[in-house]
Structure 1
Amino acid sequence: MIKRYLFFILLLGFTISYAQQVIPLYDGKVPNSKVIAGLTDTTAVFPSGNKKIHFILRVASPDLTVFLPEKSKATGIAVIICPGGGYTGLAIDHEGYDIAKKLNEKGIAGFVLKYRLPNAQYVENKQIVPLQDAQRAIQLIRENAEKWGINPDKIGIQGNSAGGHLASTLGTHYQKALIDNPRNTSLRPDFMVLNYPVISMVDSLTHMGSRYNLIGEGLSPVALKAIMSDWKTSEQKLIKLSVDGEKIKEYSNELQVTSDTPPTFITHAVDDNVVKVQNSLLFIAALQKNKVAVESFFYAKGGHGFAIDNPTTDVEWIDNCMTWILKINKD
């Protein structure tokens, strides 16, 4: 009986040590969220080859899931992780939690950001809502860095696909605070990691679904959902819809790079037929023009959405990326 009791205590301790903390982004009212009684997150599971992808389709309450490394390994470096999903949803497992767990292996803390989607049914001023959440995430982590054993000057952001657009938007639009910031906490990430990112909003380069979800206007949320329900035809339909030219320019992040843009690591597969590899190439060119440090890792094959597991090769970009993160954050 005593042995069983001790085993239960040990098992409980093991479970608690690997439990992840989930913290809400905001105290009280969430800015630009409509007040809708009973609104909750909605999720779905989609098949993808031999795997199933857990997809969050609606975010009612934005939050951060905290993945801290073992104290003996901790480097004081942290990365905010933005899952992709075309600004329609969040591929929260393989583009979120899996990346955080991998970073932990090298002593890097991971904070998976469950950011709100730019859906006019649930939010006001939809184009700024994801960026508000990203700004709040870096503010929250920086202001509580000591609690998590993090160096406030070693906080980066990582993003995949449309999450890469959000990450690069934070890295190029941090000067203007879209949230309350009474302490004037820096909203600039110290580095960026972009995985097959949407960068540009221009017709010839962008992912139309991501663009229209973020800055498109005119379609009702119901009509937009109907178009987006068939991803094979949605791009051709969305390109025919007009989008404000100034917004296209503002959210084409290759046009927003300055000499103060954070150093960047970029990964893309050349055969990506969802988000064109030219998105990454243009961003690299803009960084180089402004003398910002950039390192890239390109696959010949791999398509889109592979996260940290490109099935075409045994070489994984994230190993090189973690080496790069440790190198640029070396004291």
Structure 2
Amino acid sequence: MRLSRFRLLPLLLALNWQAHAQTVQLDLWPEGVPNYRANAGAEQHDGERINNISHPSLTVYPASIDRPARTAVIICPGGGYAYLSYTREGQQYAQWLSGLGVTAFVLKSRLSDYGHPAPLQDVLRAIRTVRAHAADYGIAPDRIGVMGSSAGGHLAASAATLYDNPAGRTGAALDSISARPDFLMLMYPVITMAPATTHMGSRQALLGQQPSAAQVQLMSTELQVHAQTPPTLLIHSQDDDVVPVENSILFYQALTRARVPAEMYLFERGGHGMALRPGLGNASNWTKRAEDWLASRKLIVQ
């Protein structure tokens, strides 16, 4: 089901909570997508990946237990800003969080064919939308987090550090709503745009082949951390040969300097894109560490 307005949202969500398995997809820009490309063609789906996105959306996964935590998480799937790993790093995370009593929202954001600042606009619009309609979702407006994997981790970290940046505003009425996440969960994230450490595919997809020094600095999220950056959980593997583990370390160090509460788990083995895959040794148990962290911050009840 796809809606262009929110007036039916309370009824739909009530039905979803009863059914538990149903979801609702919401247009993120019902008034019109900023800088919309009318000749972009249809979205491409292969069962796992989505690309060529021109109609950003949120898919809602209501909490599937009788006592929801009144916490929300907006999920940013990875894919190098070229596609979204929508099933493994979107839907599966949402189902896990739903089982913890969290209302999850999977973000379908614009990608390389739009480039910066479109993904930032989409994630900030998602936060503003969820916060503006928190009562409809049965959540608290001060319990809205963002979770992201790989390039989706970069997008989540951008939301947590650039939520007041002018590039994330479009002049819409919702710009008046705070876009600051209340907490952040980063899975093997791209953090820096510095050539020596970044994932070059993500950098080129987001900023182009020859970004300016100012663009590189702005989108190196470790350089944008400040005292109001939200509490953060970081999870990465030492043997990640796609996005170097130094990305998470750089962000953790920046959070520590800014005295932002942070917790980081670095596993010896797990590679890149661990998601919820079994058979990765200790790394496959990261969900337990994440659940403990969420419980310690009173975002879920164990």
Fold in common (TM above 0.5)? yes
- Distance across 2 between alignment mates of 1:153 and 1:303: 34
Q: Partner of 2:198 in structure 1?
A: 206
Indicate yes or no: 2:180 matched with 1:188.
Answer: yes
Q: Partner of 2:38 in structure 1?
A: 35
Superposed CA deviations along residues 155-186 of structure 1, whole A, max 9, x for unmatched, are 00000000000000000000124233536211
- Distance across 2 between alignment mates of 1:316 and 1:56: 27
2:55 is matched by which residue type in structure 1?
S
Supply the RMSD in Å over aligned alpha carbons: 2.0
Superposed CA deviations along residues 267-288 of structure 1, whole A, max 9, x for unmatched, are 0000000000000001000000
Q: Partner of 2:234 in structure 1?
A: 266
Superposed CA deviations along residues 77-105 of structure 1, whole A, max 9, x for unmatched, are 00000000000000000100000110111
Tell me if the contact between 1:206 and 1:275 (Cα under 8 Å) persists in the aligned partners: yes
Q: Partner of 1:95 in structure 2?
A: 89
- Distance across 1 between alignment mates of 2:103 and 2:269: 30
Superposed CA deviations along residues 254-310 of structure 1, whole A, max 9, x for unmatched, are 100001111100000000000000000010000000100001111100100111225
Indicate yes or no: 2:236 matched with 1:244.
Answer: no
1:23/1:261 CA distance change after superposition, 3 Å: same
- Distance across 1 between alignment mates of 2:17 and 2:217: 50
1:19 to 14, 17, 22: 22
Indicate yes or no: 2:299 matched with 1:327.
Answer: no
Indicate yes or no: 2:300 matched with 1:300.
Answer: no
Q: Partner of 1:50 in structure 2?
A: none
Query: 1:16 offset after TM fit, Å?
Result: 4.5
- Distance across 1 between alignment mates of 2:18 and 2:101: 20
Query: 1:246 offset after TM fit, Å?
Result: 1.4
- Distance across 2 between alignment mates of 1:110 and 1:62: 16
Worse-matched range after superposition: 263-272 or 171-180: 171-180
**How does 1:1-331 map onto structure 2 within 5 Å?**
16-36=19-39, 39-44=41-46, 54-70=48-64, 72-119=66-113, 123=114, 126-176=115-165, 177-182=168-173, 184-217=176-209, 242-309=210-277, 311-313=279-281, 315-329=284-298
Identity %: 38
- Distance across 1 between alignment mates of 2:278 and 2:118: 31
Worse-matched range after superposition: 71-80 or 127-136: 71-80
- Distance across 1 between alignment mates of 2:62 and 2:246: 35
Which structure 2 residue ranges, 5 or more long, are not aligned? 1-15
Tell me if the contact between 2:131 and 2:141 (Cα under 8 Å) persists in the aligned partners: yes
Tell me if the contact between 1:302 and 1:311 (Cα under 8 Å) persists in the aligned partners: no
Query: 1:311 offset after TM fit, Å?
Result: 2.5
Query: 1:44 offset after TM fit, Å?
Result: 2.5
Tell me if the contact between 2:73 and 2:147 (Cα under 8 Å) persists in the aligned partners: yes
- Distance across 2 between alignment mates of 1:266 and 1:211: 20
SS at match of 2:117: helix
- Distance across 1 between alignment mates of 2:150 and 2:60: 22
SS at match of 2:281: coil
Worse-matched range after superposition: 207-216 or 306-315: 306-315
- Distance across 2 between alignment mates of 1:153 and 1:269: 31
1:291 is matched by which residue type in structure 2?
R
SS at match of 1:273: coil
Q: Number of residue pairs matched?
A: 281
Tell me if the contact between 1:40 and 1:61 (Cα under 8 Å) persists in the aligned partners: no
Tell me if the contact between 2:20 and 2:62 (Cα under 8 Å) persists in the aligned partners: no
Query: 1:327 offset after TM fit, Å?
Result: 2.3
1:330/1:22 CA distance change after superposition, 3 Å: closer
1:310/1:268 CA distance change after superposition, 3 Å: farther
Tell me if the contact between 2:62 and 2:98 (Cα under 8 Å) persists in the aligned partners: yes
Tell me if the contact between 2:17 and 2:63 (Cα under 8 Å) persists in the aligned partners: no
2:108 is matched by which residue type in structure 1?
K
